[in-house]
Amino acid sequence: MIIAALSTKHAKATAIAEPLAQVGFSVVEVVTETDALGTFTGTVPRRHSPIATARLKAFLAAGHPGASWLLGSEGTMTNFGFSSTLDHEVIVAVQVGRPSVTVVGRGSAVLPVGLSWRLRGTASMDDLAERAAFADLGRHLLCVVRPHDGVVHSDVATLTELAAAIDELAMPGHDLIVQTDFRAHRCPSRHVALATAAEDLAHRLSTRCPSCAELGFGEDGTAGNRPCRSCAAPTGTPSHRVARCPWCDHVARELLSDDAVDSGACGWCNP
Ligand SMILES: [Zn+2]
Ligand SMILES: [Zn+2]
């Protein structure tokens, strides 16, 4: 087995280890202090892109005995409405001694939670119950954040605990934010996207580049433009799937289809 050291503060190995084990990687969790690179509560802003952040996390696991790869991951939550959040996870792998190349696995899932509620002062139990309907309490947890000084009360599991946390943190003239706790060890539904990203990474780490034979060859978007059926102009519908090597930049294009597409997808016929 190849040892891959996963840098995490929040027990992510449960979601990541299985797909990688199937391709010969033994994931060892290395507990690191990743909060300095950004927190979901916003008390520490994330200063880099998700991939750059995950890469910095991976390097925190450097020096782990026997490890030949370092892993780091980063989730990005996009709230689109009261009770759904798009969770996009990236897991990066960096080979020890060859830090210039990053192999990236990606996965997404919609989470059935998404509470982010800014309030001032305290709130009635009815108010709390109405908001908490979007929090999936019981399976998910909440945290209460006081943004101006970064104080966080986490692990809020019930309405009574929520009321107590708001009472404790409320300060005249300052807002509080009540939000879903998205930390991986507190948010079971994040494990879906993490596992998908781990499967994508496992596929790459078991695929050799046809040109340089390094591991990490994999899908990298689409290319080409299928023609419009009525005017033959190129449309935005892609004709090829692209795979790329992160080591030598070798690109392979695989034809999806070059059939003409409906004029509804054409910028000329249907601007
Ligand atoms: Zn290559
Ligand atoms: Zn057209």
Q: Over the stretch 140-174, which tens digit does the pLDDT of each residue have?
A: 899 999 998 989 999 999 999 999 999 999 999 99
Give the model confidence (pLDDT) of 214-270 as tens digits: 999 999 999 999 999 999 999 999 999 999 999 999 999 999 999 999 999 899 998
Of all ligands present, the nearest one to the C-alpha of 236 is: 2
Is 116 in contact with 82 (CB distance < 8 Å)? no
Of all ligands present, the nearest one to the C-alpha of 251 is: 1
Do residue 198 and residue 83 come from a single domain?
yes
Do residue 63 and residue 196 come from a single domain?
yes
d(CA 204, CA 216): 4
Listed residues: CB within 5 A of ion ligand 1? 209, 211-212, 245, 247-248, 250
For residue 15, pLDDT over 90 is answered with no
d(CA 93, CA 19): 14
What separation in Å is there between the alpha carbon of 244 and the centre of ligand 1? 8
Domain for residue 243, yes or no? yes
Do residue 128 and residue 251 come from a single domain?
no
Between residues 35 and 106, which one has the greater pLDDT? 106
Domain for residue 271, yes or no? no
Domain for residue 213, yes or no? no
What separation in Å is there between the alpha carbon of 252 and the centre of ligand 2? 28
Give the model confidence (pLDDT) of 79-111 as tens digits: 876 678 899 999 999 999 999 999 999 999 998
Do residue 91 and residue 196 come from a single domain?
yes
Domain for residue 209, yes or no? no
Residue 35 C-alpha from the chain's centroid: 15
What separation in Å is there between the alpha carbon of 266 and the centre of ligand 2? 5
Domain that holds residue 80: 2-112+189-204
Domain for residue 211, yes or no? no
* Predicted pLDDT at 82: 64
Do residue 7 and residue 108 come from a single domain?
yes
Q: What is the pTM of this model?
A: 0.87
Do residue 159 and residue 90 come from a single domain?
no
Do residue 167 and residue 74 come from a single domain?
no
The count of domains in the chain is: 3
What separation in Å is there between the alpha carbon of 238 and the centre of ligand 2? 15
Do residue 235 and residue 253 come from a single domain?
yes
* Predicted pLDDT at 14: 85
Residue type, 249: D
CATH number of the domain at 31, please.
3.40.50
Domain for residue 48, yes or no? yes
Of all ligands present, the nearest one to the C-alpha of 227 is: 2
What separation in Å is there between the alpha carbon of 108 and the centre of ligand 2? 33
Do residue 83 and residue 167 come from a single domain?
no
Of all ligands present, the nearest one to the C-alpha of 229 is: 2
What separation in Å is there between the alpha carbon of 195 and the centre of ligand 1? 26
* Predicted pLDDT at 238: 96
The percentage of residues in the chain with a pLDDT greater than 70, rounded to a whole number, is 99
Domain for residue 98, yes or no? yes
Domain for residue 237, yes or no? yes
Give the model confidence (pLDDT) of 45-56 as tens digits: 888 999 999 999
Residue type, 133: A
Q: What are phi and psi of 116, to 5 degrees?
A: -145, 100
What separation in Å is there between the alpha carbon of 41 and the centre of ligand 1? 39
What separation in Å is there between the alpha carbon of 208 and the centre of ligand 1? 8
Give the model confidence (pLDDT) of 165-206 as tens digits: 999 999 999 999 998 888 888 888 889 999 999 999 999 999
Do residue 6 and residue 75 come from a single domain?
yes
What is the arithmetic mean of pLDDT over 66-78? 94
DSSP calls for the chain: -EEEEEEESS--HHHHHHHHHTTTEEEEEEE---GGG--TTSSS---S-HHHHHHHHHHHTTT-TT-SEEEEEEEEEEE-STT-EEEEEEEEEEETT-TT--EEEEEEEEES---EEEEES---HHHHHHHHTTTTBTTB-EEEEETTTTEEEEEE-SHHHHHHHHHHH-BTTBEEEEEE---GGG-TTHHHHHHHHHHHHHHHTT-B-TTT--B--EEEEEE--PBBTTT--B-SS--EEEEE-TTT--EEEEE-----B-GGG-TTT--
For residue 116, pLDDT over 70 is answered with yes
* Predicted pLDDT at 37: 84
For residue 210, pLDDT over 80 is answered with yes
For residue 11, pLDDT over 80 is answered with no
